[in-house]
Every structure is written in C-alpha cells, then in structure tokens.
C-alpha cells in the first residue's frame, strides 16, 4: 500500500521540494538525522513487500556511510581533537564527524529521490506542469520514466545477446566489446522510443491551445489539511533557520547554536515534517490490518 502517494500531486510536489531544501540547506545533526530517518522509514514502508530490495539498499548505504566517514579524515586534517597520526598526518575527531554528516546528507537525499520516483509518476508531473510548460514537462517526464526502463531493457538486451552466443570470451577486451554492443542497442532503442512517444503525444494534440485534459486527481479536504500542515511546519523551520537555530560548525572545533526554549520546538518540527509520509503509511497499514481482522 502507498497511502502517501494517493494524495494530490500538488501536496506531494510541495512536500518533496520542502524536504529536499531543508535536507541540503544546513548540516545541523538534528536536521540530518530527521531527514535520514524519515527518508529511510518511508522507503521501508513503500517496499514492505520486497524485503530483499530493502536489505540490499540498507546494506549498500550503510557501506557508503562507513566509507565516507572513514575517507574524509584521510583528506581533511583540520580539527583540534587529534585521535592519532597516520603517515605523519593527523586524524581528527572533527574530520570523522564531518564525514559522517556528509554521508548522512547524501544518503538522505538519495532515499528521498528514490521515494520521489515511486510517488511522483509521469502522469502526476504532466498534470502539474503540462499546461504551464508543456514541452519541458514532457521532456522531464520522459527522462524520469526512461531511467527505470533503461535498467530493465539493458538486462533484456544482455540476455538476448548472451543467448545468441555473443559472450563467448572471458577476456577484458571481449567484455568491453560486449558492453559497447549493449550500449549501441540501448541507445538505438531509447531514440526510437523517444520519437514514438513524441509522435504519439503530437497526434493527441498535446500542448495545443484550447486542448482540454482529463484528470483523475481531485483536491479533497484531506489534501488541504496535509498541505496546510506542510506549509506550517516548513514556515516554522524557515524561521528557525533564519534565526540561526540550525547553525552548526565542524571545523576547527564542533559548535552549534542554541536558541533557548524554542530550540526543542524547532527540533520537533523538523522530525514531524520528515516523518509525515512514514506516519501516514503506518497509520493506513494499521487501519487496513484492523479492517481485515474484522472480516
């Protein structure tokens, strides 16, 4: 079940714009932790029926987190708390923590983008921008749609060529040749698919003046309530960021701002905003299980 994806495209688009901005605008540990936790939980909720995909992604990004945390001290030697020396260079606590913060930033953005691709489908994107910027919205929609198709089509082409006996050698040169054959085939397929899509949309009168569009999306009361909550939390966080509540530095020493009693409310607002989709998914799943138990 994807309860969050059932909301109006305007609500979904505003939400992802807000969380991506807040996830990248500051390096405050609380905001990074909230963003990463919200993105990962939403990803787990969306792929609850595919545990192998969840396990594969979590292991991969855990390895990426450890790698970035360990690599940054090898290149950056700033910081006042020296832990030990490696080849004459100081390895500092600040460099390790900064590497971990960078890793959390990258991982949270990647997971938000994964969830965005699952929620904001091409028809929703065209609904939002089809009238304002029809050509650009069509190009972006096609590009987002082709990304998952490329992966699937590459696998099909690889299997077809392998069946034809084109992968007879195990040498490095033969593998390079095979990769170029697959690349040429996928390039031709993508160009043909793009031309067919463009001709199809042109035949339907896409982008013409006065053309009406059928839409299955209706802005309901629940969409308005969720949009109001998103805007309120986003506005409150924006005020906090402008007031310095999420200021944080890692070099030359670790230090952060504290805005008194309001700081706890800013932190709570950050977690509430980032956890909204996962909370909606959990709520709907619990509701569905209760309804099934009554049958």
Write the pLDDT tens digit of every residue in 89-126.
788 888 888 889 999 999 999 999 888 888 887 777 77
The pLDDT value recorded for residue 16 is 93
Write the pLDDT tens digit of every residue in 8-48.
889 999 999 999 999 888 889 999 999 999 999 999 988 88
The model's confidence at residue 230, banded by pLDDT at 50, 70 and 90, is very high
At residue 256, φ and ψ (nearest 5 deg) are: -145, 160
- Regarding whether 43 and 111 lie in a shared domain, the answer is yes
The pLDDT value recorded for residue 212 is 61
The model's confidence at residue 60, banded by pLDDT at 50, 70 and 90, is very high
Tell me which of 76 and 236 has the higher pLDDT: 236
- Regarding whether 115 and 16 lie in a shared domain, the answer is yes
Name the nearest CA neighbour of 274 among 1, 2, 7, 15.
15
Full residue range of the structural domain in which residue 237 is found = 4-125+218-293
Residue 249 lies in a domain: yes
pLDDT at position 281 over 80:
yes
Residue 211 lies in a domain: no
Measured distance between the N- and C-terminal CA atoms of the chain, rounded to whole angstroms: 19
Tokens in use for 155? 């696998």
The model's confidence at residue 4, banded by pLDDT at 50, 70 and 90, is confident
Residue where a domain terminates, one of 203, 228, 261: 203
The model's confidence at residue 162, banded by pLDDT at 50, 70 and 90, is confident
- Regarding whether 121 and 33 lie in a shared domain, the answer is yes
What is each CA distance from 83 to 68, 91, 93, 95, 152, in whole angstroms?
18, 6, 6, 10, 47
Work out how many domains the chain is built from and give that number: 2
% of the chain residues with pLDDT over 90: 28
pLDDT at position 186 over 80:
no
On the CB side of 284, how many CA atoms lie within 13 Å of its CA? 16
**CA dihedral defined by 60, 118, 235, 259, rounded to 10 degrees?**
-10
Contact assessment for residue 212 and residue 241, using Cβ atoms and an 8 Å cutoff: no
- Regarding whether 233 and 112 lie in a shared domain, the answer is yes
What pTM does this model have? 0.75
What average pLDDT does the segment 197-222 reach?
A: 72
- Regarding whether 119 and 29 lie in a shared domain, the answer is yes
pLDDT at position 278 over 80:
yes
Tokens in use for 105? 């930033």
């Amino acid at each position: 079940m994807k309860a969050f994806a059932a909301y109006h495209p305007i609500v979904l688009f505003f939400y992802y714009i807000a969380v991506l901005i807040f996830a990248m605008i500051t390096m405050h540990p609380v905001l990074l932790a909230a963003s990463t936790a919200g993105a990962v939980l939403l990803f787990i909720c969306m792929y609850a029926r595919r545990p192998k995909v969840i396990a594969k992604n979590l292991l991969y990004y855990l390895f990426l987190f450890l790698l970035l945390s360990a690599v940054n001290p090898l290149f950056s030697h700033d910081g006042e708390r020296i832990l030990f020396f490696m080849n004459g260079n100081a390895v500092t606590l600040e460099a390790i923590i900064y590497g971990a913060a960078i890793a959390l930033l990258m991982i949270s953005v990647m997971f938000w983008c994964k969830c965005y691709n699952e929620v904001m489908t091409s028809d929703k994107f065209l609904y939002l921008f089809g009238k304002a910027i029809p050509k650009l919205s069509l190009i972006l929609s096609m590009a987002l749609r082709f990304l998952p198709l490329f992966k699937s089509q590459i696998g099909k082409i690889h299997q077809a060529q392998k069946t034809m006996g084109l992968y007879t050698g195990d040498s490095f040169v033969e593998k390079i040749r095979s990769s170029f054959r697959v690349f040429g085939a996928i390039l031709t397929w993508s160009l043909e698919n793009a031309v067919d899509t463009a001709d199809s949309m042109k035949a339907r009168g896409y982008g013409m003046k006065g053309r009406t569009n059928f839409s299955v999306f209706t802005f309901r009361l629940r969409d308005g309530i969720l949009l109001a909550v998103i805007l309120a939390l986003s506005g409150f966080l924006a005020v906090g960021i402008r007031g310095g509540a999420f200021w944080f530095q890692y070099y030359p020493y670790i230090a952060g701002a504290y805005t008194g009693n309001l700081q706890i409310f800013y932190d709570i607002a950050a977690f509430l905003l980032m956890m909204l989709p996962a909370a909606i998914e959990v709520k709907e799943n619990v509701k569905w299980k209760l309804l099934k138990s009554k049958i």
